[in-house]
Amino acid sequence: MTVHANRFAGKAVVVTGAAQGIGRAVAERIAAEGGEVVLADRAELVHDVAGALREAGGKAHSVPVHSVTADLETYDGALAATDGALAAAGRIDVVVNNVGGTIWAKPYEHYTPEEIEKEVRRSLFPTLWMCRAALPHLIAQRSGTIVNVSSVATRGVNRVPYAASKGGVRAITTALALEAAPHGVRVVATAPGGTEAPPRAVQRGPLPATEQEKAWYQQIVDQTVESSLLKRYGTLDEQAAAICFLASDEASYITGTVLPVAGGDLG
């Protein structure tokens, strides 16, 4: 990880889905770069992650690290996360909306209506609700940045409901940027490609069990690698670097933009 010292000094940054994966990597980098960070997740694990970060990066860089638990699939949960962040840090300068992820991997005709709704609640509504909950505070202070995490899986196999949700995240970004700009608020996004990460401590859904389910998942992996010009998965650091750049003042003239971070796959 390349650290840009004090890039987030004086900033209060909320990172959702911060208990693991990309969210955790972003939170670690924000703290290492001098930002006061609030980790938000519905898993209690987020408090342990915040504790470890507090002992490592936060303590080393003399910046506070906080954590809140909330179910961001609901508006009440988004309000709770926003209120918790304000109570802990006193203000919000940046919101990184990272919650989401494929629950099932299979051709669309095999999804049940209930599964489709769960995918949309997991990968669209957390961003929609957090933008709504945080935006009034950013508008009131006439400054701030929202960084959403979409996906290049908007053009991918065996996860149509997830693709639709992440397409919605792109639309939130481009449309909200128009409304927020007059208030001094930027809205941007990254679109990650396949990303190598440690085994998840909290699973999104059932792991592929049957040979058919394993084959459907492998089709996703193969298509992801093939679509990348670099023919590989990315790393957590590569995803966090792009998110933190867009979140920082270095990107002050960028808004309404979705940046693919997928080795050349534009989604």
pLDDT, tens only, 199-212: 878 777 888 889 99
Q: Which of 167, 153, 119 is nearest to 224 (CA)?
A: 153
Residues, the chain: 267
Q: What is the residue type of 48?
A: D
Q: What pLDDT shows up at residue 3?
A: 85
pLDDT category of residue 215 using cuts at 50, 70 and 90? very high
pLDDT, tens only, 82-140: 999 999 999 999 999 999 999 999 999 999 999 999 999 999 999 999 999 999 999 99
Q: What pLDDT shows up at residue 57?
A: 58
Mean pLDDT of 58-81: 88
Is residue 265 in some structural domain?
A: no
Q: Are 7 and 29 in contact (CB under 8 A)?
A: no
Mean pLDDT of 28-32: 95
Q: Percent of the chain, pLDDT > 70?
A: 98
> At residue 59, does pLDDT exceed 70?
no
Is residue 1 in some structural domain?
A: no
pLDDT, tens only, 137-154: 999 999 999 999 999 999
The domain that holds 247 is classified in CATH as 3.40.50.720
Is residue 226 in some structural domain?
A: yes
Rounded Cα distance, 55 and 221, in Å: 36
Is residue 2 in some structural domain?
A: no
Total domains in the chain come to: 1
Mean pLDDT of 6-17: 97
Is residue 114 in some structural domain?
A: yes
> At residue 194, does pLDDT exceed 90?
yes
Q: Which of 162, 217, 233, 253 is catalytic?
A: 162
Is residue 7 in some structural domain?
A: no
pLDDT, tens only, 229-253: 999 999 999 999 999 999 999 999 9
Mean pLDDT of 18-36: 97
> At residue 42, does pLDDT exceed 70?
yes
Rounded Cα distance, 34 and 255, in Å: 23
Q: Catalytic site residue 253?
A: no
Q: Are 13 and 36 in contact (CB under 8 A)?
A: yes
Is residue 4 in some structural domain?
A: no
Sequence-ordered alpha helix ranges (H) in the chain: 21-32, 45-53, 59-61, 75-89, 113-123, 125-141, 160-180, 211-227, 236-247
| Domain span at 176 | 12-260
Q: What pLDDT shows up at residue 200?
A: 78
Query: What H or E segment, with its residue span, contains residue 258?
Result: strand 258-261
Token pair for 103? 């629950």
Is residue 158 in some structural domain?
A: yes
Q: What pLDDT shows up at residue 204?
A: 76
